[in-house]
Amino acid sequence: MAFTGSLRKTLFGLLLVMIFLVMLLYWNENQSPIKPAGSAMLFARIFHREGVVGGSEGTWTYKCVNNRCSAFGGSTTGKRVPFLTCTMTCGPINIWPQPTGKASIGSKASRFRLSDVHFNVKTAHKPVEDLLWDAFRVFKEELRAVLVARGAGADEADSSTVTENGDAARGKGQQDVGAKVEGSAAKISRYDVDRFDVRINVLKSPEIHLTMQTDEGYNMTVGHTARSLVVKVFANSFFGAKHALTTLQQLIWFDDEERILKVLNKALIEDVPRFNFRGLMLDTSRHYFSVESIKRTLVGMSHSKLNRFHWHITDSQSFPLVSKHYPQLAQYGAYSDREIYTADDIRDIVQFARERGIQVIPEIDAPAHAGNGWDWGPKHNLGDLSLCINQQPWSYYCGEPPCGQLNPKNNNTYLILQKLYEELLDLTGPLDYFHLGGDEVNLECWQQHFNESDMRTLWCDFMQQAYHRLQIANKGVAPKMVAVWSSGLTNYPCLSKNSFAVQVWGGSKWQENFQLISAGFNLVISHVDAWYLDCGFGSWRSTGECSC
């Protein structure tokens, strides 16, 4: 019995030690500092695979059968064809989104070396030229990251930097490697081209800021003669030319059998987006996303040719934006002093997005969805900036917990919003589309404090005041289109259809959709039952059309 008791104590002690070690490892993992990463590293992390094909995949080869790739076991003779090489040369066009105009793409591929890719820009507008060189740098960085992630050799990975004559500036060690291959028969047998020229002509627009009227179309041809590959692009704006680079990148892949980059060497593509607003919204208040995570999202957007990053930066849960005029908002509202966005962070994200043809649209949701971060007014002699903060039962006073709704009769509330708008416009550059929020205003919250006979007029007055403050913040000129979220109040005769667009988030069959269309409003469609991407990752609301 004594021995059994001693054994139990020993096992119990070992269990405690194991629990402690697991907790320690978890703690260290979650306490690692958030560090920024370059676009090449981000791309490598997104598309990382082992450099050498292992396991069963390396024993399969693929053949195009009836426009589909079929797998065959290792007993087949001849050179192995990887799945990606098969899919790029078999079946329908592998471009996303599918081109809207003429599209003809050959099935023959050319092998090339990244350092042989050269870039030439013709445009009358220096800002457009500079931004296109940035876009080309991103193009090469992402291809280089694919090579690095797959363990390609130094020659294929091309550690050079891009210069404005289209050549590569190499380090001494890299130059030696390149020189050995350049003049040898090995290069001729390994690569199909000695020069890969990308020639871009931007014919019209001098703009580097996206607008609702921007022409994002492009025409692109790819041709292969002798040992030269030439890509010609004609576009009317930087954004059209950037989409052409994205399409070209979709014609390129890494062959994991030959360990080399390949490109489809014959193509004719005419393309223009069907919609001038192709957006994705990210909520960084309910759940904080690091700058690196946001950049990963932007990379994915650029490869799908999405052009508007709607940044829902604040909500009732947290206020991570650090304002230079009102730092108290983040001091009181951020989850922690690490889960914040500084002006430098926003400026970095905006530039990162612009190089990828994406406009950043920030949103400070108001008047509802504004609780934590707004509760410091009385301590600074500014009065109650927000009402019903964390009030219970929450279902009486807000659409979801925690509650909070800005005070429509405190002028300091509007002054703070004006300064926030000024800061955001300064960081993002000119915007012809701005989002004011306006979502899920709860009239019962305001009814506790005010005695208006029709509480809807308070919402109307608030939105008009916010619009006026935005106009002041934008140097006296309102953006051409200002968006609000749909709600039971957007049909109230208050907002002008010529100035306001409505972002519809409710169910696709809700009556408000048809009412807003009939009223002549421009709509941004983001129905919860079709376009929300968070469903399936937990549901705090189990019933109703908005449940997941």
Whether residue 268 contacts residue 211, with contact meaning beta carbons closer than 8 Å, is answered with no
What sign does the dihedral 246-433-459-491 (CA atoms) show?
A: negative
Q: Is 207 among the residues known to form the active site?
A: no
What is the distance between the alpha carbons of residues 278 and 358, in angstroms, rounded to a whole number? 10
Q: Which residues contact 36 (CB under 8 A, 6 or more apart)?
A: 291, 292, 348
| C-beta of residue 94 within 8 angstroms of C-beta of residue 87 | yes
The percent of the chain in helix, strand and coil, each rounded to the nearest 5, is 35, 20, 45
- Give phi and psi for 108, each to the nearest 5: -95, 145
Q: What is the spatial distance between Cα 64 and Cα 537, in angstroms, rounded to a whole number?
A: 38
Q: Which two tokens stand for residue 261?
A: 């980059």
DSSP string, 265-329: --EEEEE--S-S--EEEEE-SSS---HHHHHHHHHHHHHTT--EEEEEEE-SS---B--SS-THH
What residue ranges in 367-454 does DSSP mark as E strands? Answer: 386-387, 405-406, 433-437
Catalytic residue among 355, 440, 444, 512: 440
Helix (H, G, I), strand (E, B) or coil at 532: coil
Nearest to 70 by CA among 55, 57, 79, 60: 60
Task: Report the alpha-carbon distance of residue 152 to residue 257 in Å, rounded.
Answer: 11
- Work out the number of other CB atoms within 10 angstroms of the CB of residue 418: 19
Give the HSE-up count for residue 236: Cα atoms under 13 Å, Cβ half-sphere. Answer: 9
Active-site residue set: 440
